[in-house]
Chain A
Amino acid sequence: MRVGIVCPYSWDMPGGVKQHIDDLAQALMAQGHEVSVIAPAADDGELPPYVTGAGRAVPVPYNGSVARLSFGFLSAARVRRWIQDGGFDVLHIHEPLIPSLGVLACWAAKGPIVATFHASFSRSRAIAIAEPLLHSALEKLHGRIAVSDAARKSLVEQFGGDAVLIPNGVTVSRYAEAEPLPGWGPDGATIGFLGRVDEPRKGLPILLEALADIPGARLLVAGPGEVKVPRNVRDRVTLLGMVSEEDKIRAYHSVDVFCAPNTGGESFGIVLAEAMASGATVLASDIPAFRKVLGEGQAGALFRNGDPASLAEEARALLADPERRAKLAAEARVAVRKYDWSTVARDVVRVYETVTAGGTGRVVEDL
Chain B
Amino acid sequence: MSEGIVLLLVGILVVLTAVYISWRAGRLDRLHIRLELAREALDAALTRRRAVVLELAGSRLLDPATSLVLAAAAHEARTAGPEEREHAESNLSKALRAAADQERFREKLAESPGGGDLLQELDAAVAKVVYSRRFYNNAVAVTRAAQRRWLARTLRLAGHTETPEFFEIDDLPPENMSTE
Contacts and interface: CB of A to CB of B under 8 A. Distances in A.
Contacts of A110: 30
Given A139-B142, A140-B30, A161-B142, 16 more contacts: A139-B30, A140-B34, A142-B135, A142-B139, A143-B131, A144-B135, A350-B124, A351-B131, A354-B128, A355-B41, A357-B40, A358-B36, A358-B38, A358-B40, A358-B41, A359-B37
A142 B128 contact: no
The residue among A110, A162, A347, A358 with the most chain B CB atoms within 10 A of its own CB is A358
A192 B38 CA distance: 48
17 contacts: A139-B34, A139-B142, A142-B38, A144-B134, A160-B141, A161-B141, A164-B180, A166-B180, A354-B41, A354-B45, A357-B132, A358-B36, A358-B37, A358-B41, A358-B44, A359-B40, A360-B37
B168 to A, nearest CB: 13
A355 B135 contact: yes
A161 B159 CA distance: 25
Smallest CB-CB A-B distances: 9 pairs: A358-B37, A358-B40, A357-B41, A161-B138, A165-B180, A354-B131, A357-B44, A354-B132, A162-B134
B27 A166 contact: no
A350 B127 contact: yes
B45 A162 contact: no
B134 A142 contact: no
Interface in A125-176: 136, 139-140, 142-144, 160-166
A251 B137 CA distance: 46
Interface of A: 110, 136, 139-140, 142-144, 160-166, 347, 350-351, 353-355, 357-360
Contacts of B27: 136, 139
Nearest to B37: A358
Contacts of A163: 134
Given A166-B179, A354-B135, A142 B37 contact: yes
Contacts of A347: 127, 179
A144 B138 CA distance: 9
B16 to A, nearest CB: 18
A351 B45 CA distance: 11
A201 to B, nearest CB: 22
Given A139-B30, A358-B36, A164 B44 contact: no
The residue among B27, B36, B45, B180 with the most chain A CB atoms within 10 A of its own CB is B180
Contacts of A359: 37, 40
Nearest to B120: A346
Interface in B6-50: 27, 30-31, 34, 36-41, 44-45
Contacts of A144: 134-135, 138
B54 interface: no
A354 B34 CA distance: 13
